[in-house]
């Protein structure tokens, strides 16, 4: 099983791994597979279909998998989005299967190994599969395949690594209509998972050795809007956070994918002040020029975003705030870029991903006027990236002298330092904490999964250099 793309895809791969294991398949590590008994019969590639570079990575991975001699099956977002079109252009793949194949994937792989041809997935706009009215979706979702939503009392998930952090899906799909984004068309309308199901999976993950849960969805601030009065509506996410944070063995819960226009004061307060919830805000700003945001079919502006940042830091001065921004959007002017630079300078975010605009198939932005040439987009990406690098390094430097609690994810070795992440650092995207020996602790004795209180003694870009103060004991994990 090979996974590309975001944390949501990683969760989907573990769901598929659970289904395949339950269906009699054995998962093998491709790196350790030798010709003969260890070689895989099938390689399942969970593709990403978000942007052009991700699609290229997916195709390259499919081609490399085919070179092993195994049968190759494409699943995931790119397979769902393009289906038969992808199959026609990639004969190296034995099958291209969409989300509707997930419940029966074990049987379909058996058919493929037996030499039977499986008709390629035919894409549809998955927004049409659920009612327009959110409160009517829960019942209808029982008849629609939504990855990660049909587990019921059984946890159909198999961990593909032993990391002390795991993503936990709280919802799928999106009702927003951002003009640059095609995700709703192939992921479908927004639908929440039931709170009890989320908490049960969180407890299961704790039993698997997980100490940090990362809540993922396409839009976490919409959680609960389709659950009705029984689940507190607007306060549903806050309630789930409190329950997850109370699971024995779980020491940190992190929320990702927050929409600024939907982030209400009660949610800010819950994230900033609830014990065991990381004071971390993954805000999808995308830009700060009001004019550009309107063309993106988004809401907000520099002043409203700065007010939200102040609200967060009033409650939690050390909170981590990250975002992504798009530059070079059709019609963007130098004045718009200046406005974005002003916002970033005043906001002093902890981490920012900077992306140059590119057309996406079937989106409204693909047809907008005012397209910028590649050289202009590249120059603006370079300008904002240089500013972000300077600002985020300053923000990290400001943390020198403070204390952070670090989840150890990489032990010391001959080639690498011991390292982990503090509460303001999400996996893979926000830098790390490099842990040095102190008078009281030898970091060579730290193990993956240890939680260590540290003092920040230096910084390097967005990374922090820290020394241990004490090991934080882990609460006992309850038996299922």
Asked if 221 contacts 250 with a C-beta cutoff of 8 angstroms, the reply is no
**Residue 454 is labelled as binding a ligand:** no
Asked if 93 contacts 83 with a C-beta cutoff of 8 angstroms, the reply is no
Q: What are phi and psi of 137, to 5 degrees?
A: -80, -30
Residues 336 and 347: their CA atoms lie apart, in Å, by 16
Residues 469 and 452: their CA atoms lie apart, in Å, by 7
Exposure letters 357-376 (e unless 16+ CB within 10 A, then b): beebeebbbeebeebbeeee
Which has the closest alpha carbon to 112: 166, 49, 173, 42? 42
Residues 184 and 177: their CA atoms lie apart, in Å, by 8
Which has the closest alpha carbon to 155: 3, 1, 19? 19
SS3 of 8, please?
helix
Which has the closest alpha carbon to 121: 73, 68, 163, 159? 73
Q: What sign has the CA pseudo-torsion 345, 349, 352, 357?
A: negative
**Residue 433 is labelled as binding a ligand:** no
**Residue 77 is labelled as binding a ligand:** yes
Asked if 426 contacts 216 with a C-beta cutoff of 8 angstroms, the reply is no
Which has the closest alpha carbon to 31: 72, 64, 79? 64
Q: Which residues are annotated as part of the binding site? A: 6, 48, 77, 174, 178, 181
Q: Which residues are annotated as part of the binding site for [4Fe-4S] cluster? A: 6, 48, 77, 174, 178, 181
């Amino acid at each position: 099983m090979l996974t590309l793309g975001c944390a949501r895809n990683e969760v989907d791969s573990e769901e598929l791994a659970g289904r395949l294991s339950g269906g009699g398949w054995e998962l093998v590590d491709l790196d350790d597979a030798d010709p003969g008994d260890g070689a895989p019969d099938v390689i399942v590639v969970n593709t990403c279909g978000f942007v052009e570079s991700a699609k290229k990575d997916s195709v390259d991975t499919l081609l490399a998998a085919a070179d092993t001699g195994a049968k190759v099956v494409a699943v995931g977002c790119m397979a769902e989005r393009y289906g038969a079109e992808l199959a026609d252009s990639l004969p190296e793949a034995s099958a291209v299967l969409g989300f509707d194949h997930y419940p029966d994937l074990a049987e379909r792989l058996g058919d493929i190994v037996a030499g039977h041809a499986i008709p390629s997935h035919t894409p549809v706009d998955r927004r049409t599969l659920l009612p327009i009215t959110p409160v009517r979706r829960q019942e209808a979702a029982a008849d629609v395949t939504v990855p990660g939503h049909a587990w019921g009392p059984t946890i159909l998930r198999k961990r593909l690594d032993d990391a002390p952090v795991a993503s936990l899906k709280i919802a799928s799909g999106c009702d927003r209509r951002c003009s640059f984004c095609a995700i709703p068309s192939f992921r479908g309308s927004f639908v929440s998972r039931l709170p009890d199901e989320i908490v049960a999976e969180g407890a299961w993950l704790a039993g698997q050795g997980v100490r940090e849960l990362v809540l993922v969805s396409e839009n976490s601030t919409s959680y609960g809007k389709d659950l009705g009065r029984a689940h507190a509506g607007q306060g549903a996410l806050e309630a789930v956070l409190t329950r997850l944070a109370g699971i024995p063995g779980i020491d940190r819960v992190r929320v990702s994918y927050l929409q600024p226009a939907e982030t209400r004061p009660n949610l800010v307060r819950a994230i900033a002040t609830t014990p065991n919830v990381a004071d971390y805000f993954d805000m999808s700003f995308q830009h700060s020029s009001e004019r550009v945001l309107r063309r993106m079919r988004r809401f907000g502006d520099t002043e409203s975003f700065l007010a939200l940042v102040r609200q967060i830091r009033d409650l939690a001065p050390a909170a981590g705030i990250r975002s992504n921004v798009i530059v070079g959007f059709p019609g963007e002017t130098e004045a718009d870029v200046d406005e974005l630079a002003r916002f970033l300078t005043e906001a002093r975010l902890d981490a920012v991903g900077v992306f140059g605009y590119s057309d996406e198939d079937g989106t409204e932005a693909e047809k907008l006027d005012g397209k910028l040439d590649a050289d202009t987009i590249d120059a603006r990406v370079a300008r904002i990236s240089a500013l972000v690098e300077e600002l985020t390094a300053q923000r990290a430097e400001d943390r020198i002298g403070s204390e952070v609690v670090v989840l150890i994810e990489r032990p010391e070795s001959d080639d690498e330092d011991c390292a982990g992440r503090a509460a303001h650092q999400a996996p893979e995207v926000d830098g790390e904490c490099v842990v040095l020996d102190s008078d009281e602790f030898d970091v060579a004795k730290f193990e993956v999964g240890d939680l260590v209180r540290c003092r920040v003694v230096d910084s390097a870009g967005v990374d922090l250099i820290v020394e241990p103060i004490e090991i934080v004991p882990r609460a006992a994990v309850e038996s299922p």
